[in-house]
Structure 1
Amino acid sequence: MRMSEAYAAAVAGLVPVVLLLITVEITSNRSRMHDLFAEVGRPAAVARSMARREHFTQQQIERAERATHALRSGIRQLRWMLVYLAGSAAVALMLLDAERRALRWLGDPSPGPAESDAKYCLIVLGIAFFRVVIAPLLDILRPLVEGAADLLPAAGSITRLSRVVERTRREQLTGCPTPPQAAGVRTPGDAQS
């Protein structure tokens, strides 16, 4: 692969567009960072104040558990954002270097083939296009994975809960209790028999 005037001009024209896309995406995520820090601010204060105590009431234990859960979730989100920002910064720096190489080649009166620069620009633009496409997909995937971790364990309880609700409604309408087995609800004693 060799650098040509058309190739260098294409690189010099594409790099600003890709940088603009990455910048717009990062800017749109700025409010998410502010929201994240606002969400974990109160649990962090609770955790700091409670970490100095030796004994807790039941209510304080529950409050500490909620704060710990919120902080762990916030830390996971912060890690994700830091990786996202570091990757975006690395791609942006490589793009700026590719732009510099293309413009330097275009400005040189006798540039030569510059094979390494041509390959570098191709690789960097490939990485940048991949980043522009993959980052939004990963942004969608992250909440799906986190939501699935919360929802999937509850999926098995849906059928049992529906049966219990149905049995309770029937009891309320008729005024007499229905044995759990008649309503199709398994009890702990059913598993042993």
Structure 2
Amino acid sequence: MRKSIVGIYDKGSGTIVHSRHELIDESEGVCYAEVDAQSFYVGQGGWGGPRGPKGIKLDTPKRKPDFVVTEQTGKELSLLYRLNGDYNPLHATPEPGKDMDFPGVILHGLGTWNISAHAIVRTVGSGDGSTLQEFQARFASPVLPGDKLLIDIWNLGFIGGKEDLVDVRFSCRVDGGKVVLKEGQAILKVPIKGSEAKPKSKL
């Protein structure tokens, strides 16, 4: 895994660090996956640096979603997700969260991210994880362990000129509460009949 810094931008109220991670087979020189992340550091702006490029805003369709997937998180989920290697105490004990004006322990952002990806693969990708080609979203609000999540999914159909790539838009919200992931997009590679988004199997 190779990491590089693409850019550091001064947004006034904070700083954005744009990093890129590439999963590379060094013996073959093949890049199997690329992850771009933009981290916002609150209160670290105003140092006179470049503002950075404007991002492209991905709006969700102005209609009812094609699918709404419900996922009930457990009270222990943040403790289980820590086993991936992220041992930030913010996800284990209430004190750090309360110091940041959260109610207490919050779930890892990537936990919510992966719950949403899993829901999209189940509904549009027929339960086959290899169909997921691209995935992006913006973090909007934290999730508390035990929250019920609703993933709204819109299947926009095949991308023009690419008969096997489906454009999916999504957002994730807490039941009765705030949107936690917004401007979501997933690109899935599925057979033409998969555009009907009817799952063939379950994970």
Whether the TM-score (by the shorter chain) exceeds 0.5 is no
Which protein has the bigger helix share?
1
More RCO (CA 8 Å, sep 6+):
1
**How high is the TM-score relative to the length of structure 2?**
0.18
Which protein has the bigger strand share?
2
**How high is the TM-score relative to the length of structure 1?**
0.19
